[in-house]
């Protein structure tokens, strides 16, 4: 994705993801009293196998580079022209003659994984991973464990899924705002805002059980604040993580950072936290710690990219 479109596409992608995360707990809320609820929830996942292959075949454009490597320049030009047409014919169509007869069609070789830890890159790889771990810990604890935590803390099953629905519904406009903000104040300060901004909401959810008649109001308000902030941080964090790597290394770096972060935040943390979901102090306190640490990592150890990836990271000859 070109730098000028990176934040917009990232925000749109994240909003679509948030919409799906909102729909699932909402359906769970509606089916909370049904003994066949788990079957109804599994049904869409099974039916999607009949939809996705059709979309991939008829909607997703083929790779023009792959056609060139196969020695099919006309097919490659047709694919590019199809994309141009779908985009509103803003540029002239591509011709086979414009490709020339000296086009290098060899497969581009990615840099080895050890380059992620080379001198001049190790710091940025570490920053990307740590940001992913902190933001991911907040997200996965809410996404995976929040309904269980609410039930274990004495709330009804239907209310627990309803609360999860509100959290993710708030993240839809929140991710749009985060995508807008990151081009104004920069990636680092946007990440800091999203994580620090969640602390009032998290404290409301943490203390709700002590507020008597105001417990429901505090829990709902805290959920809305949390969804609009920390769950919306990924419009900025995913772009910022990818911008820790030069173009030639991004194919390795982004995948490695996401995978490593998810192993910690999405597997290890939920596994360790399952026995403690009944304690508001431990459950929400852990999210508070992760959000607080994650907010300061890019400010203290990172550097601003603001989409200018190549001018920032590709000054290192070994990685350019």
User: Quick one: pLDDT at residue 100?
Assistant: 72
Query: 209-239 as b/e, with b when 16 or more CB fall inside 10 Å?
Result: eeeeeebeebbbbbbbbbbbbbbbbbbbbbb
User: Quick one: pLDDT at residue 167?
Assistant: 93
Q: What is the DSSP string of the chain?
A: --HHHHHHHHHHHHHHHHHHHHHHHHHHHHTTT-TTHHHHHHHHHHHGGGTHHHHHHHTSPPPHHHHHHTT-HHHHHHHHHHHHHHTTS-SPPP-HHHH-S----SPPPPPPGGGGGSTTTHHHHHHHHHHHHHHHHHHHHHHHHHHHHHHHTT--HHHHHHHHHHHHHHHHHHHHHHHHHTTTT-HHHHHHHHHHTTHHHHHHHHHGGGSGGGHHHHHHHHHHHHHHTGGGTHHHHHHHHHTTS-HHHHHHHHHHHHHHHHIIIIIIHHHHHGGGTT-HHHHHHHHHHHHHHHHHHHHHT----TT-HHHHHTTSTTT-
User: Quick one: pLDDT at residue 3?
Assistant: 65
User: Quick one: pLDDT at residue 182?
Assistant: 86
pLDDT in tens, the chain (320 residues): 666 677 788 888 889 888 888 888 888 888 888 888 878 877 877 777 888 888 888 888 888 888 888 888 888 889 889 888 887 888 888 888 887 765 555 656 778 889 999 988 999 999 999 999 999 999 999 988 999 999 998 888 888 989 999 999 999 999 999 988 988 898 999 999 999 999 999 999 999 988 888 999 999 999 999 999 999 999 899 889 988 998 888 888 989 999 999 999 999 999 999 999 999 999 999 999 999 999 999 999 998 886 544 444 444 433 33
Q: Is the dihedral of CA 132, 190, 225, 24 positive or negative?
A: negative
The whole-angstrom separation of Cα 280 and Cα 294 is 21
What is the domain partition of the chain in residue ranges? 111-313
Give CA separation, 68 vs 72, 80, 102, in Å: 5, 12, 11
**Phi, psi (rounded to 5 degrees) for 174:** -65, -40
The whole-angstrom separation of Cα 35 and Cα 33 is 7
CATH code of the domain occupying 111-313: 1.20.1250.20
Q: Go through the chain and tell me how many residues it has.
A: 320
Nearest to 128 by CA among 187, 181, 174: 187
User: Quick one: pLDDT at residue 313?
Assistant: 42
């Amino acid at each position: 994705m070109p730098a000028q479109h990176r934040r917009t596409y990232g925000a749109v992608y994240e909003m679509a993801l948030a919409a799906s995360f909102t729909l699932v707990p909402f359906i769970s809320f509606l089916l909370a009293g049904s003994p066949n609820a788990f079957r109804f929830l599994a049904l869409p996942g099974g039916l999607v196998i009949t939809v996705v292959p059709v979309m991939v075949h008829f909607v997703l454009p083929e790779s023009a580079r792959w056609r060139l490597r196969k020695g099919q320049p006309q097919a490659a030009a047709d694919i590019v022209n199809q994309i141009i047409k779908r985009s509103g014919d803003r540029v002239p169509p591509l011709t086979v003659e414009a490709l020339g007869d000296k086009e290098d069609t060899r497969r581009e070789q990615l840099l080895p994984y050890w380059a992620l830890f080379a001198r001049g890159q190790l710091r940025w790889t570490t920053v990307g991973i740590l940001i992913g771990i902190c933001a991911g810990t907040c997200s996965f604890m809410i996404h995976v464990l929040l309904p269980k935590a609410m039930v274990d803390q004495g709330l009804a099953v239907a209310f627990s899924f309803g609360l999860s629905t509100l959290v993710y519904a708030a993240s839809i406009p929140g991710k749009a705002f985060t995508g807008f903000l990151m081009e104004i104040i920069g990636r680092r300060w946007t990440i800091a805002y999203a994580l620090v901004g969640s602390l009032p909401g998290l404290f409301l959810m943490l203390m709700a059980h002590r507020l008597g008649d105001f417990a429901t109001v505090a829990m709902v308000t805290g959920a809305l604040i949390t969804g609009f902030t920390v769950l919306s941080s990924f419009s900025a964090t995913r772009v910022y993580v990818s911008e820790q790597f030069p173009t030639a290394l991004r194919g390795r770096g982004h995948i490695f950072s996401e995978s490593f972060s998810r192993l910690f935040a999405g597997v290890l943390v939920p596994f360790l936290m399952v026995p403690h979901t009944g304690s508001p102090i431990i459950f929400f306190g852990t999210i508070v710690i992760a959000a607080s640490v994650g907010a300061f990592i890019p400010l203290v150890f990172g550097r601003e990219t603001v989409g200018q990836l190549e001018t920032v990271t590709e000054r290192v000859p070994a990685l350019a």
